[in-house]
Structure 1
Amino acid sequence: MGIPVLDLTGALVPGGPRSAEVARAFRSAAMASGFFYVRHHGVDAAMVERQFDITRRLMALPIERREQLSIEHSPIMRGYEGLGAQTLDAAMKPDLKESFYCGMDWPADHPYVKAGYQTYGPSQWPAELPDVRAHCEAYIDAMNRLSLRLMQLMALSLDLPEDYFDAACHDPMVTLRMVRYPAHPEGADERTFGAGAHTDWGAVTILAQDAHGGLEVQMPGGSWVAATPMDGTFVVNLGDMIPRWTNGLYHSNPHRVRNLYSGGQARYSIPFFYEPEYLARIVPVPGTVPAGEAPRYTPCTAGEHLQEMYRKTYGLQKQAATEGAA
């Protein structure tokens, strides 16, 4: 079993002539690994390449400057995160990656900003790279449109109205993360990963990856397969909110990264994380709970779920640091 490719030709707008066909392919992928490629997705290749250029430029800033933009200075974790700051797999060493987080700059008078909800608020931008903000915001806008369309196709795949999830995605929580993985260290042990095995936390992740590869996906039987880069595609995967929303019908499978194939070069990737708005209720959609059975997951809001995941992964890193000092 491999990772399927969904061609979005004729399915990029509501009511598109191939929407039902693509929704059936979506359902098949979602019930297997929760991973698939999308091609003919409507995002210009030049925009994607420009985003990789921005990523390289951000990571080329002096380390002292990057640290001035640390996520520690942002209440909503926008900015730079250094090597080893995150541990996605508790059984492994801290992840060998550094990244820059940004998102939609919501106005200060938005009620979610006033409430201090995660992801709602300003990003940190480097003044010496004045074009970065505008380019990132344009890319986020393109990813928002594609993400919403994927949510609509998911609704169709569940035999629901195409706009079933639209209301929950009115003011979405979104994060654009630009990631640099250094070359895998020579002589590294089996507990060393660029990103340890994990599932994503939210609804939909759309990943642009460079030509080096390194992403591996766990299939339903437990085997790991490479998500080999394919020109003109994104890798899409479903996050942990989707099993909650579908009562376990759709899957959020583990994946991991090892930068083994770049010939000693850095690997760059750009994941975009899309979640419904903070107060959206995550309860099983109609038709997913068998008659007479209780839901498999405790109902919650999208924000409650996301906060729990943040505490878990960054708490693991703090625990590892404490144990290492003992």
Structure 2
Amino acid sequence: MSIPILDLQGALSRGGPRSAEVARQLRAAAVGSGFFYVRNHGVAAQQVARQFELARQLLEDVPPGTRERLDMKNSPTLRGYERLGAQTLDLDAKPDLKESFYCGMAYPADHPYVRAGYQTYGGNQWPAQVPQAPAVCEAYIRSLLALARRLMQLLALSLALPEDYFDGTSESPMVTLRMLRYPAHPPDADQHTFGAGAHTDWGAITILAQDSHGGLEVCMPDGTWADATPIDGCFVVNLGDMIPRWTNGLYHSNPHRVRNRHSSGRPRFSVPFFYEPDYMARIEAVPGTVPAGEQPRFTPCTAGEHLAEMYRRTYGKPAEGTPA
């Protein structure tokens, strides 16, 4: 089994001539692994390259002491630096061999969600050594948010819903940009050692830029693990845990993991963009996904409630500003 490639040429705008065709391809991917590549996605190669260079600067050039002072635990929005081994995505594995830098959309201080202290709404932490970081990340977030919103429209079409069905859930979206650095996989690593342990993503859509080394592995529907080999000019897209809730289990959010085994000892960098809808967006089975006479498989919730539960599972406590 392989991960399909969706060409967005002619489907990047509402009513595009290939929108229905791409929506059918998206449906086939979504009921399978929940993973697919996208090409002709509208994001310039130079912008992606600039984001990788920024990731390198933040995680290699900024002095370790400065990075530690910017630890995400010091931020009410959990933005900033995450040290090596701070996260364990697979609870049956060892701590993840990765470090990262988180940021998100810069909502104004008077936004009601910022005033309420909701997770992902608020300020970022930046090192003075990389003054261009805020502008570079904000530009990248704008580009990837436009792509994520378009993918949600294609997802609506794939479910035989109006193209704008999900538009209202994206007024004040929760958006996280994460820049990741994986050291080389240890030559003596055991079966419980990963750069990122097997996990599913929490939100709606993840759009991943990965460097040329590879290392991402996807659990396919038959239970085998497949390499998500880097393809020039393509992002890897996967559906997060909100999508099964929205589709009553029809569409899948499959496990994936990372092992940096193909880089000849060099670090691997990746830049995932996590799109989640508005904090108060209702996540419940959409029309046409619950068979007649049956009850929905998932309890309806808000996107914020879903996020709080995911933080409980991974970090053992709710994020600041999320329901207890």
Using the size of structure 1 for normalisation, the TM-score is: 0.96
Residue identity opposite 1:136 in structure 2:
C
Deviation of residue 310 (structure 1)?
Answer: 1.2
Residue identity opposite 1:86 in structure 2:
Q
Which segments of structure 1 move beyond 3 Å, counting only runs of 4 or more? none
Deviation of residue 72 (structure 1)?
Answer: 1.0
Q: More displaced, 171-180 or 56-65?
A: 56-65
Residue identity opposite 2:86 in structure 1:
A
* Paired position in structure 2 for 1:72: 73
Q: Distance in 1 between matches of 2:157 and 2:271?
A: 28
Deviation of residue 143 (structure 1)?
Answer: 0.5
Deviation of residue 185 (structure 1)?
Answer: 1.3
Unpaired runs of at least 5, structure 2: 318-324
What is the aligned-residue RMSD (CA, Å)?
0.7
* Paired position in structure 2 for 1:15: 15
**What do residues 44-72 of structure 1 show as CA deviations (whole Å, max 9, x unaligned)?**
00000000000000011111110111101
Residue identity opposite 2:125 in structure 1:
Q
Residue identity opposite 2:22 in structure 1:
V
Q: Distance in 1 between matches of 2:55 and 2:197?
A: 21
* Paired position in structure 2 for 1:242: 243
* Paired position in structure 2 for 1:2: 2
Aligned residues: 316
1:46 aligns with 2:46: yes
Residue identity opposite 1:266 in structure 2:
P
* Paired position in structure 2 for 1:311: 312
1:228 aligns with 2:229: yes
Deviation of residue 243 (structure 1)?
Answer: 0.1
* Paired position in structure 2 for 1:116: 117
* Paired position in structure 2 for 1:178: 179
Any residues of structure 2 matched to 1:1-326 within 5 Å, and which? 1-60=1-60, 61-315=62-316
Q: Distance in 1 between matches of 2:63 and 2:267?
A: 16
Q: Distance in 2 between matches of 1:212 and 1:87?
A: 23
Q: Distance in 2 between matches of 1:285 and 1:126?
A: 43
Q: Distance in 1 between matches of 2:313 and 2:142?
A: 29
Q: Distance in 2 between matches of 1:229 and 1:218?
A: 16
Unpaired runs of at least 5, structure 1: 317-326
What SS class does the counterpart of residue 278 from structure 2 fall into? coil
Residue identity opposite 2:85 in structure 1:
G
Residue identity opposite 1:313 in structure 2:
T
Deviation of residue 93 (structure 1)?
Answer: 0.3
Using the size of structure 2 for normalisation, the TM-score is: 0.97
Deviation of residue 257 (structure 1)?
Answer: 0.1
